Chain A
Amino acid sequence: MKTHSRPALFAATAALMLSVQGAALAADLPTTLAAPESFAGIADPATRSAAIFVEASKVLMHPRCVNCHPVGERPSQGEFATTRPHQPPVERGKDGFGSVSMRCGTCHQARNFEPGRVPGHEHWHLAPPSMAWQGKTPAQICAQIKDPARNGGRTLAQIHEHIALDSLVGWAWAPGTSRTPAPGTQKQMGALIDAWVATGAMCPS
């Protein structure tokens, strides 16, 4: 699968059913995603659209995603997304690829390295501050994703393409043996986003 020529938009996506104080265990994380059809029973398209987004936010708020969409300069690490800052103390840096003395790619190689339990991808980096999702609600993330000022100037179609096809986003479903993957599959997630856009891309209240 080909990746975007520029750094991926959603380096990995967000999680926030994990409250600020709470430390959710890996066992508590969702593992499945509902298909768009399962929302057919909701008659009102706007309500249905918002419900689909809430389902998709299971992925967006998952530690595989939110760890690299931090509020502040330092990514998170591990399964307890909001409570464990990345060790060693790397920061976003000017380009999102780490500080002068600690670059993301120094440790994170082009692919996962199981003997070292290190996740990897050739574009491994942090989302920009405008895309910080850590600690936010699905409604807040929804508004953020739709706002071209905060989503890298993307249209809804480009957002769908990014979530459904980008290989760094796709890493969230193949994170290596010592990490919990994002729920469902990237394809299912793509279908949800597709359905969300098709139903008007409404945000939950």
Chain B
Amino acid sequence: MTTLRITINGRPHGPVEVRDELTMNDFLREKLGMTGTKFGCGAAQCLSCAVIVDNPDGTSRTSPTCIVPAIVFNGQSIRTVEGHARDGELTPLQKAFVTHFSFQCGYCTAGFLNEGQVLLERLARTPVPRADLEKTILEALDGHLCRCTGYVKYHEAVRDVILADAKRYLA
């Protein structure tokens, strides 16, 4: 057992004793009831379970949760799909997913949202030329599996959010 303290969507959780073998996915879903983070394959091969990790240096990254022990996240600050909107106001990327009809069954949406959001935050720090945009989006999102949509509308939504604020995201 290890004592876990973690900040989720800005709210501190813990200290709480967790088994070293407990996955972060089960910690979120079974212990906290936060089921917005999905379980798809349990092998980090579909990435529907990905969450955002906010690094101390202000950067962000995604991490799968289904194969990572909860205790690895000790002391970290993470964001999940439940934490993007503030007071019911969707983020630009959430809105774009809705208005582009990006998802169908929606089971992969949390993973795509988190990965797309991290990409936006990365581009805001390190913009890329317009010519590299589609390739950059593809590289960022390619780890995520979707069985319904053929991916087109996810990629279009991310692209359109970037193009709508090109000064911020593009070099």
Contacts and interface: CB of A to CB of B under 8 A. Distances in A.
**Is there a direct interface between A and B, measured as CB atoms under 8 Å apart in the complex?**
yes
Interface of A: 87-90, 99-103, 106-107, 109, 113-118
B143 A117 contact: no
Interface stretch (B10-18, B39-47, B93-101, B153-161): B39-47
A95 to B, nearest CB: 15
Given A99-B139, A103-B61, A106-B64, A88 B47 contact: yes
A116 B67 contact: yes
Interface stretch (B29-37, B76-84, B114-122, B163-171): B114-122
Interface of B: 21-23, 42-47, 61-64, 66-69, 72, 115, 118-119, 122, 139-140, 142-143
Given A101-B118, A113-B68, A117-B43, A89 B143 contact: yes
B143 A101 contact: yes
B143 A109 contact: no
B115 A88 contact: no
A160 B42 CA distance: 38
A89 B122 contact: no
B61 A116 contact: no
| Interface hub of A87, A100, A103, A106 (most chain B Cβ within 10 A) | A106
Contacts, number: 59
Contact of A117 (B67, B118, B122): B67
A113 B61 CA distance: 21
| Interface hub of B44, B47, B62, B72 (most chain A Cβ within 10 A) | B44
Nearest to A99: B139
B119 A107 contact: no
A115 B21 contact: yes
A113 B118 CA distance: 26
Contact of B139 (A101, A103, A116): A101
A43 to B, nearest CB: 51
Nearest to A91: B139
B168 to A, nearest CB: 18
Among all A-B residue pairs, the 8 with the closest Cβ atoms: A116-B67, A88-B143, A87-B45, A118-B67, A101-B140, A115-B21, A107-B44, A106-B63
A109 B72 contact: yes
B150 to A, nearest CB: 17
Contacts of A115: 21-23, 69
